[in-house]
Amino acid sequence: MNAPLPFPHLSRTRASTRVAATVLACAGAAGAWAQPADGPALGAPLEAQVRELILNRVVGPATPRAEVVLGRLDPRLRLAACRRVDAYIPSGTRLWGSSRVGLRCAEGPSAWNVYLPVTVHVFGPGLVAAAPLPVGHMLTTADLRAAEINLSEQRSPAVSDGSAVLGRTLAQPLAAGQPLREVSLKSRQWFAPGDTVQLRAVGGGFAVVGSGQAITAGLEGQPVRVRTDNGKVVTGMPVSDRVVELTL
């Protein structure tokens, strides 16, 4: 049986979800790698494998470019030597902004599993301010230009369709070159309380149209309550000027 290899002498494999390498060795073991005082370190081959694993997941037609910044393992960790370490994406993990990748010992004297913090910067097309824009400014075509932006910098979705935001009002100021995001825009009010609205009940392959009176203001993206002509109160989503859509 081959003895565990001391870190950082790593061997590589082409599979993006498997790293055939020894990552960490016990401090003090004969001939073993001496763990740095500030905690376990990975080494270039394993770092490359982790980056490859992430980039294979996030790069695509809508996000043609991404950058991965690797963090450090918990400095308190003391992990046994390992002949093969598997890198994997934990179930339910969103590789967007601050995230993590799992590392587990698949072949060694003792099994272990740790998580490596990572930051994933995903880049794609978006709109940015062509010049400084104040709060309350109504957007025109001259205010925006297309650019590659960091989509993962904020949770609020970036805006890429200029025609969809013309005439919208800014809820926060934008510096020149700053990406326009949904959170930057004031919600449109499609109607006021007391207005008569059209109700559209949409189902599988059919739509029913009726009318009612708005109980609450019809703000974009927020549910609204409407009293129908027969007195029943229903809840729906305002979708355009004095139009509420109910999903059946």
pTM: 0.64
Distance from C-alpha of 157 to C-alpha of 36, rounded to nearest angstrom: 41
Q: In terms of residue numbers, what domain contains 208?
A: 189-247
Q: Is the pLDDT of residue 107 over 60?
A: yes
Side chain identity at residue 228, one-letter code? T
Q: Is the pLDDT of residue 76 over 80?
A: yes
Position 106 in a domain: no
| Token reading at 74 | 């918990």
CATH of the domain at 222: 2.30.30.760
> Count of domains in the chain?
2
CATH of the domain at 163: 3.90.1210.10
Distance from C-alpha of 47 to C-alpha of 38, rounded to nearest angstrom: 18
Side chain identity at residue 234, one-letter code? V
Position 98 in a domain: no
- Whether residues 178 and 194 share a domain: the answer is no
The dihedral through the CA atoms of 159, 164, 167, 168 has a sign that is negative
Give me Rg for the CA atoms of the chain: 27
Position 5 in a domain: no
Of 133, 153, 184, the residue at which a domain comes to its end is 184
Kindly report the backbone phi and psi dihedral angles of residue 217, in degrees, each rounded to the nearest multiple of 5, phi listed first. -65, 145
Distance from C-alpha of 46 to C-alpha of 21, rounded to nearest angstrom: 7
Tokens 């982790």 belong to residue: 50
Q: Is the pLDDT of residue 65 over 80?
A: yes
Ranges 21-30, 98-107, 109-118: which has the least confidence: 21-30
- Whether residues 196 and 231 share a domain: the answer is yes
Beta-sheet pairing, 206-214 with 196-203: antiparallel
- Mean pLDDT value of segment 73-101: 89
Of 156, 184, 212, the residue at which a domain comes to its end is 184
The answer to whether residues 85 and 25 touch, using CB atoms and an 8 Å cutoff, is: no
